[in-house]
Amino acid sequence: MASLIATRCAQRLPGRLRLFSTSTTRQGEIKKLGVVGAGQMGLGIALVAAQKAQVPVTLIDSSQKSLDRGIGFAEKLLARDVSKERITQEQADAARALLTPSTSLDSLADVDFVIEAVPEIPELKFDIFSKLAQICPQHAILATNTSSISITRIAASTTADPNDTTNSSRVVSTHFMNPVPVQKGVEIISGLQTSKETLDTAVAFCKRMGKIPSVSADSPGFLANRILMPYINEAIICLETGVGDRDSIDAIMKNGTNVPMGPLQLADFIGLDTCLAIMKVLHTETGDSKYRPSVLLRNMVDAGWLGRKSGKGFYDY
């Protein structure tokens, strides 16, 4: 019976079956990496790849100012590691020499793997991936660091013909945890079009970067945010409804579950606007009321109290 069903499915859905069996990517050693976005996440990914994987990294940003700031921050981090004797000056110099900044996506014409790390704006990511599919070599993996946008939608932006999976099969998500130089975790998410070879190559390269990968399906929030954000949101609701004050909420989680930060302090670190955006995605895409963002969270974002980056959130900075 099972074989009969499989045969009938193959007859009815040949395009979809080919979608999983055809891949234009090739496994093997990644010799050059591209990173799009020189913000905190992109810079962290580029620096770790240079230090741990020891590959040349082309760091792309449309703003020269952002590139200069990012490279300057990388040099500061390397100098700090040297001062604390975590690495030698020679190792720091070698890592810095592997970082090449550029304001042009065309500089990625010879990479084997590219990771996009721009803000969570769907149209921006779709536009970037449409261009990467044309610029990067056909064997190159096209990865996104998105924390909430569908990988299937991003992959679809690489082609005008959904039956042509030449580009979309090499799209995957490598969602690194923040801050990248410190956190070991990385979430690897496949879209509907992603080939097994693409997934395996992404997992292998993240391990080469010294990370511990977890594999997730393309579902709203994936694994990390599907679990983390409702936890933070519920802590905010506890504060909003008077179940506990700020310090008590954070203290019980730090001292009771041995986490390094309480949920409110962590929300400030992530950015309350980011927390709200992810909760909205979870609420909208699942239709489940348990993901409704806290009223207090919405109000704080409206007030511009975004956490550490704005100087005020649940704590003052």
| Residues annotated in a binding site | 37-42, 61, 120, 125, 147, 178, 309
187, 195, 233, 294: the active-site residue: 187
The residue to which tokens 């983390």 are assigned: 228
**C-beta separation of 115 from 170 below 8 A:** no
Tell me, yes or no, if 83 is annotated catalytic: no
Q: What is the largest CA-CA distance in the chain?
A: 67
Which residue of the set 23, 66, 147, 294 is catalytic? 147
Helix extents (H) in 13-120: 14-21, 40-48, 64-83, 89-97
| Catalytic-role residue among 150, 167, 168, 175 | 175
Distance CA 73, CA 68 (A): 9
Q: Give me the torsion for CA of 73, 43, 149, 204, rounded to 10°.
A: -150
Q: What is the DSSP letter of 167?
A: T
Please say if 258 is a catalytic residue. Answer: no
- DSSP element (H, E) containing 195: none
Residue 211 CB-density burial (10 A; 0-12 exposed, 13-18 middle, 19+ buried): buried
Task: Return the amino acid letter for 238.
Answer: C
Axis crossing angle, helix 64-83 with helix 40-48, rounded to the nearest 10: 50
Residue 292: how many other CB atoms lie within 10 Å: 14
Sign for the pseudo-dihedral over CA of 31, 37, 38, 41: negative
107 in catalytic set = no
In the annotated binding site for NAD(+), the residues are 37-42, 61, 120, 125, 147, 178, 309
Torsion sign (Cα): 157, 162, 165, 166? negative
Contact between residue 226 and residue 282 where contact means Cβ atoms under 8 Å apart: yes
| 8 A C-beta contact, residue 146 and residue 115 | no
DSSP character for 178? S
225 is an active site residue: yes
Q: Which residues are catalytic?
A: 147, 175, 187, 225
